[in-house]
Copies of this chain bind each other. A is one copy, B any other.
Amino acid sequence: MGNLNLVTGRPADLRLYLVTDYELALKAGRTELEVVRAAVAGGVTAVQLRDKTRETGELYRAGRELREFCASAGVAFIVNDRLDLALALEADGLHLGQGDLPLEVARKIAGERLFIGLSVFTPEETLKALAAGAGYLGASPVFTSSTKPDAGAGMGLDGLGRVVRTAGQTPVVAIGAINAGNAAGVIETGATGIAVISALVSAPDITGAARQLRRQIERNPK
């Protein structure tokens, strides 16, 4: 199955992919929904709900607001890690890390209800993800983050290029310390899109920052 956006009925547009961060939004004095609204106004095409801390019921209630807004905006709504929430929120997609449920297990439970993306770091992981039926790949991390050193050293643009070539027709979303200064180079590797957290969640002007990122992507569309 493809990357179907349940609302638009078209393949999900993964060009500019916002990953939410509740704590980071709070620090900037914003709610998650405010961040998402402002980001979508600036051209974000996909939103991932990611949270490892809040209780499931609270996440479900917060997720319903985000899901509803994304549906009304025609933007893909994706849940990180939690297949239970992805199903409960009727998300378009589920994103799995290498430390989450095996993709085959998630697929068996979800049936045809979700597209499922998988984080990869190497061509080997990319091949395994393709064999498991990943709908898209999250190449992560591309650059070494100064604020998240535990994420490890980035694969760099060369590493990203190898993942992109291995992925063939499967979309690759690049993530890891990407910003307006390096986004164009990321897209030049052939990646379908870029995913960001702090570049939008912590931006003084979220809508303006999203517009700027979109411009970098449009310079080199896949």
Among the 9-residue stretches A4-12, A78-86, A213-221, the one with 4 or more Cβ atoms under 8 Å from chain B is: A78-86
Residues of chain A at the chain B interface (Cβ within 8 Å): 55-58, 60, 81-85, 87-88, 97-102, 105-106, 109
From the candidates B56, B100, B102, name the one contacting A101 in the complex (CB within 8 A).
Answer: B56
Q: Which B residues are in CB contact (< 8 Å) with A100?
A: 55-57
Copies of this protein in the assembly total 2
Measured in the bound complex, the distance between the Cα atoms of B84 and A85 in whole Å is: 8
Measured in the bound complex, the distance between the Cα atoms of B58 and A82 in whole Å is: 14
- Shortest A100–chain B CB gap in Å is 5
- Nearest 6 interchain pairs by C-beta: A83-B84, A84-B84, A55-B99, A57-B99, A56-B100, A87-B109
Q: Which B residues are in CB contact (< 8 Å) with A81?
A: 56
Cβ contact within 8 Å between B109 and A60? no
- Shortest A4–chain B CB gap in Å is 19
Q: Which B residues are in CB contact (< 8 Å) with A109?
A: 84, 87-88
What residue in chain B is nearest A58 (Cβ atoms)?
Answer: B99
- Contacts A56-B81, A58-B99, A82-B84 known; 12 new A-B pairs at CB < 8 A: A55-B99, A56-B99, A56-B100, A57-B97, A57-B99, A57-B101, A60-B101, A83-B84, A84-B109, A87-B109, A88-B101, A88-B109
